[in-house]
Amino acid sequence: MPRLIGHRLTAYFAATLALLAQPLRLTQWVVATSIVLTVEQWAAEAAEYYSLEEALTTIFPEADDYQRDDRALTATEHAQLAEALEGKPLPGNPLIYTAKKAGTVQGYALVLDEVGKHKPITFMIGVTPEGAVQDALVMVFRETRGWEIRRKRFMKQFRDKTMPDPIDIRSDITHVTGATLSSRAATVVVRRALALQQVLFGEQGTRISIDGAS
């Protein structure tokens, strides 16, 4: 079960169910039922499936060290990413972790957001040093519909994908019925993560900025 963001959720349900248990007029029933539906909708918009630590250890279970990279992207890196992503600029700076085992890089974990229909969905994408997707997870889902993309039968389609692959719901990715926008958001994030790994780390495995910061 997902962790529901908002500590008053249980109290809202309890109070509303108690209200529904009493003899009520029609208008009171309508109000009480509306409260239940509103709370259920809010819960669906605030589902956290993985904490940061859980996501990291799920994607790279053998790693014994996860090093966070806090450096902002340089102008050169932004330009290279935009080119790799066919002119689409990267929004903001990604949260990046390098997963290591006994000092050897196992891969890179990138926490990225992409809007589904109205609200951002938070993903973690693991990319190997060779530039292939290790795994992909939905960490937080905030929309009212489309949460089914978090299921393994959808997300596992991204494993082993690389930049040359289409990674498109019209081609090599089967979207979830009723969750087309959320499915598309996942493809956008995976392509973005692969581009980031390629531009920032490439084959050398250590981030070296062309603008001089290393």
Residue 20: give the domain boundaries.
3-44
**This prediction's pTM:** 0.78
19 and 67 part of one domain: no
14 and 103 part of one domain: no
Q: Domain count of the chain?
A: 2
120 and 86 part of one domain: yes
38 and 107 part of one domain: no
83 and 165 part of one domain: yes
21 and 58 part of one domain: no
Instruction: Look at residue 205 and tell me if it is in a domain.
Output: no
- From first to last of its 214 residues, what are the pLDDT tens digits of the chain? 566 554 444 544 455 555 556 665 655 544 444 544 444 454 445 699 999 999 999 999 999 999 999 889 999 999 999 999 988 888 888 999 999 999 999 999 999 999 999 999 999 999 999 999 999 999 999 999 999 999 999 999 999 999 999 999 999 999 999 999 999 999 999 999 999 999 999 866 666 554 444 4
**pLDDT on residue 40:** 47
Three-state SS string across the chain, please? Answer: CCEECCCCHHHHHHHHHHHHCCCCCHHHHHHHHHHHHHHHHHHHCCEECCCHHHHHHHHCCCCCEEEEECCCCCHHHHHHHHHHCCCCCCCCCCEEEEEEECCEEEEEEEEEEEECCCCEEEEEEEECCCCCEEEEEEEEECCCCCHHHHCHHHHHHHCCCCCCCCCCCCCCCCCCCCCHHHHHHHHHHHHHHHHHHHHHCCCCCCCCCCCCCC
92 and 134 part of one domain: yes
83 and 175 part of one domain: yes
Instruction: Look at residue 208 and tell me if it is in a domain.
Output: no
Instruction: Look at residue 206 and tell me if it is in a domain.
Output: no
- How far is Cα 208 from Cα 72, in angstroms, rounded to an integer? 12
39 and 57 part of one domain: no
**pLDDT on residue 23:** 63
Q: Identify whether the C-beta of residue 209 lies closer than 8 Å to the C-beta of residue 76.
A: yes
Q: At what angle do helices 9-20 and 26-44 cross, to 10 degrees?
A: 160
67 and 27 part of one domain: no
**pLDDT on residue 88:** 84
108 and 150 part of one domain: yes
**pLDDT on residue 35:** 46
